[in-house]
Amino acid sequence: MNARRRFLLPVGVVVIGGAAFAAGCGGGVDVSQTVKDTTPGSTAPAATATRPSVSVGGTSGGPEKESRGVASQVVPSIDEVPKGMKVNVPESFALNLGTFSSSYLFTSNQEGETKANAWKIVDGYQVVYEPDGLAADLLRGRYYVQAEAYLFQTIDGAKDAYAFMDKFYLSRPAAQQMPTKQLGNQSNAYKLVSGTVGTSDQISAYYRMLVRRGNAVYVVQINGADKFVNVDQARDIAVIMDDRILGNRAAPVPTPIPTPSFGG
C-alpha cells in the first residue's frame, strides 16, 4: 500500500477520516467488507436526524500555550476511550516528513512537503482504536476512533495549518459543519455520511473535531452507525487532548510506542 493511501485511514473499519473526508469513501485499509457504498436511487436508508451537541467540557479560549513536548503524548490512551477497544497497531505511528507529506490533506507529496516547511511542523502522531468486534460492534453502538496530533514550531504555523485543514474538511462533498461549543483557541466540527455498516441497512456516519491550542493542532474522528453516534464522542476525546496540552491531565507514553518522527 502506498504512503498516501496508508495515511488516509477513515474511521470506519480501521480506516478513519482521510478516506471519508478526502474523497467521500475509500483509502487506507480495504473497507469493502465492512462499509458498502450507497448510490443515488439505491434502497439504502436515509441518514437519521443529527442529534445536537450537548458536550460542554474543556476550556473554551484560554492561553495560547506553546507546547514543547511530543505529539504522541497528546493523543488519548487506551484507558481513555470506551471499554472494549484495542489499538490498531499498524495504523498508529509517529509521523515523519514522508508520511505527513503523503497525507490525505494534500494533492501531492510536493504540496505536503511545501506545507510542512511553511508551517514548520516539528512532530506528529496518530493513533487508531477499533472495537473488539470491528464493524459488527458498530451495530451495537460502538465506534472507531482516530486521533491525530501535530506540533508546530510557532503559533502562527499552527494557525495556518488549522485554517488549511478547516477549509479542506468543509470542502469535502456532502460534509456538514456541526455546531459545538468552542474548544481550545479555535475549533470546528464536521459530519459526513458514507455507505452503510457492513451488509446492514445502518448508515455509516463520520464525525470529526478539529482543534487548535497554541502551536498544537489536533483532530479526532469517530465512525459508527448514524443512529448511535454524534459529534460529542469526538469532542469529548478532543477535550482529553486539550487538557493534556494545558497540563490539566497526565501525559503518559502512548501504546504503541511511537517510531522516530521529524527529528528522529
Q: Residues near 59 by Cβ (< 8 Å), separated by ≥ 6?
A: 183, 184, 242, 243, 246, 248
**190, 175 contact by CB (below 8 A):** yes
> Among 2, 4, 3, 8, which Cα is nearest to 28's?
8
| Beta-bridge partner residues of 204 | 225
Domain 3-246 in this protein, CATH class = alpha beta
Per mean pLDDT, which of 100-109, 112-121, 135-144, 190-199 is the most reliable?
112-121
pLDDT at 254: 57
pLDDT, greater one: 133 or 30: 133
Quickly state the pLDDT bin for 141 (edges 50, 70, 90).
Answer: confident
pLDDT above 70 as % of the chain: 77
Quickly state the pLDDT bin for 154 (edges 50, 70, 90).
Answer: very high
pLDDT, greater one: 107 or 23: 107
In tens, the pLDDT along 223-252 reads: 998 889 999 999 999 999 999 999 999 877
Helix (H) or strand (E) holding 209: strand 203-213
Q: Which of 131-140, 213-222, 239-248 has the lowest average pLDDT?
A: 131-140
Q: What is the mean pLDDT of the chain?
A: 78
Instruction: Please check the confidence at residue 29 and state whether its pLDDT lies above 90.
Output: no
- Between the alpha carbon of residue 34 and those of residues 17, 107, 159, 218, the distances in Å are 15, 27, 36, 27
pLDDT at 48: 56
Domain ranges of the chain: 3-246
Q: Is this structure's pTM higher than 0.85?
A: no
